[in-house]
Amino acid sequence: MRVSTRVEYGLIALTDIALHGGSGQSVSGPEIAARQNISNKYLEHILLLLRQAGFIKAQKGLRGGYTLSRPAEEIILSDVLNALDQNILADMGEENEEGELRTVINKCFWSRINSNLNQYTDNLNLGDFANGCRNSFSDKWDLYVI
């Protein structure tokens, strides 16, 4: 399944802020862009969408940047995905012609996938997601030697 770069980068940016913005520290857009190899200009557009949706707050000044607007455990991933792309979790429309193969496939296959994706993202918060990401790559960091 392919999602738009807006959704992909939005989830990456929000997770980066959750991981690197501990204790209320702000994380700058250029820091995120450099760490995640994302164009800073495009990232700023995505961060604006996340701010407008109420997931992050912007801080101005020398130590400015972005922080989560509420605890990561209160940010539900389905809300994030819907804020970035209103079609990604949308229910498939019902076809009018009964018995048409397209209708059967949509009902039997795509509707089930969509239902599972909705259920998964409705029950996953950013805190659990970020911790899962941290655990997935922390093993590789343990092997890093200077």
Q: With 50 as the cut, is the pLDDT of residue 53 above it? A: yes
Q: Is 31 exposed, middle or buried (0-12, 13-18, 19+ CB in 10 A)?
A: middle
**Cα-atom radius of gyration of the chain, to the nearest Å?**
18
The CATH number of the domain where 92 resides is what? 1.10.10.10
CA distances from 62 to 2, 27, 74, 91, 120 (A): 38, 12, 28, 44, 39
Tally of structural domains, the chain:
1
Q: What pLDDT, on the 0 to 100 scale, is given for residue 92?
A: 57
Nearest-angstrom CA–CA distance, 65 and 52: 15
Q: What pLDDT, on the 0 to 100 scale, is given for residue 137?
A: 76
Q: With 50 as the cut, is the pLDDT of residue 118 above it? A: yes
Question: Which residues span the domain enclosing 128?
Answer: 5-142
Q: How far is CA 127 from the centre of its chain?
A: 12
For a pLDDT cut of 90, what percent of the chain falls above it? 58
Taking the whole predicted model, whether its pTM rises above 0.85 is answered as no
